[in-house]
Amino acid sequence: MPSVGAVTSNLNVVTTQNNRTAAANEFVIADAINNPIVVTLPTAPTLNSVVAVKKSDTTTNLVTVVPGGTAKIDVDTSAGLYIRGATIQVQYDGTNWQVGSTALTNAAMVSQGSGSSSVLTPYYRSGYWYGRRNGIGTSGPGAADSTTPTDSSILYGAMYVHQQIAIDRVVYRSGNTAPTSGAAVRIGVYTSNATTGEPQTLIQDFGLLALSAVTNTNNALTITGTLPSGWLHFALSFNSTTPGSAWGINPIYTGASAPTGISDAQFNASYVGTAVNVPYYTQAGTSTAAALATTAAATAAYPTTTSLIYNPEVFIRVA
C-alpha cells in the first residue's frame, strides 16, 4: 500500500469540471469551481487498481468520491474533499477500496498561532453524531464535564460548521443533578457576527424540548433542519423551572490562538465558551419562541478568575 501523504506515480492524469467515473489507475484532478463534483470509482476493476482524486479549486463546492457497485471506501459509502489540495488515494482489494493515503497541500494549509497545522476538513457522515467542537462523528452522543445552567435564561454557545449539512436530531444531555419536573428548553441556531463573534440572527428554531427528570439522560428532539457552513451559535432558552445540571464541553483548547481571520473570542468560545477574558453570551429569557428570537439584551460574560465555566453541550445527528 502507498504510504500516507504519498500519491503513487504512473497514474493517468485527467482534469475535469464535471462528474466523472474514474478508470483504474487514474489521477482525477477535480476542479469544482462551478459546481460540486462526484467522482465515481470503477466497479469491480482489476485487483490492486489505484485511483487518486484531488480537489484543485478554492471554492467551498464539495468533491465527493463514491465507490461503484456495492463496494465501500474502507467502511464508508463516500469520502469528501472540501478544501483546495485535499487528496485521497485508494486501492482495490478485490471487494472494497482501501484508503492508501490522504494529503493536503498548497492553500489548504491553515495558520494557527505561531505554528502551522495541516489537516483535512472533516467530512460529516450521515447517521453520525457531532458535538459543537467535534469534527469526528460518533455512533451516539456523548460529552464530559458537568455544568449548571440557570432557569429563565438563554445561553449561546459558538460552533464551527465546515460545510452545509442537513440534520435530523438534536440532543441536550442532563447531568448529575436531574432537572425538576416541568423543566424545558427551546433550542435554536444563530448566525455569528463576523466582527464581534456575537450571536446575530436566528436562523433555526427547533422547538421546545421537555427535559426528563432523570440524571445523565439524552433529551432528544427529532427535527428537520439545515446548518450553513461557518461560525454559528446554538441557543438554549430555558423556562422558569430549574433545569438541573447538564453535560458541558471539555476545555482542551483553553488559551489557544485563533486561526487567521477568526477572532480569539470565536475560537475559544467554540471549544470552551469560557477561559479567562474570553466571553460566552447570555441573557434573561424564557422557553417561548419570541424570547429565543431576540438577542437585544445578550451580553458577553467574561470570567475573571482562573476558574472555567462550562457551557452546556449540544449534539446533532447528520441526516
CA–CA separation, 130 and 151 (whole Å): 26
Instruction: Give which of 309, 196, 188 is closest to 237, Cα–Cα.
Output: 188
Distance of CA 96 to the CA centre of its chain: 27
Instruction: Give which of 189, 207, 208, 210 is closest to 199, Cα–Cα.
Output: 189
CATH assignment, 12-117: 2.60.120.640
pTM of the model: 0.56
CA–CA separation, 281 and 179 (whole Å): 22
> How many CA atoms, within 13 angstroms, populate the side-chain half-sphere of residue 252?
6
Helical (H) or strand (E) element with 123: none
Per-residue pLDDT of the chain (319 residues; tens, 9 = 90+): 333 334 556 899 999 999 999 999 999 999 999 988 999 999 999 999 999 999 898 877 888 888 999 998 887 778 878 777 888 889 999 999 988 776 654 333 332 233 323 334 456 677 877 766 544 344 444 444 456 788 888 888 777 777 788 999 988 888 888 999 999 999 999 888 877 778 888 999 999 999 999 988 888 899 999 988 777 888 888 999 999 888 765 433 333 344 444 444 444 444 433 333 345 677 888 778 888 777 766 776 654 444 444 567 778 888 8
CA–CA separation, 240 and 184 (whole Å): 8
Structural domain boundaries in the chain: 12-117, 129-318
CA–CA separation, 166 and 241 (whole Å): 31
DSSP 108: G
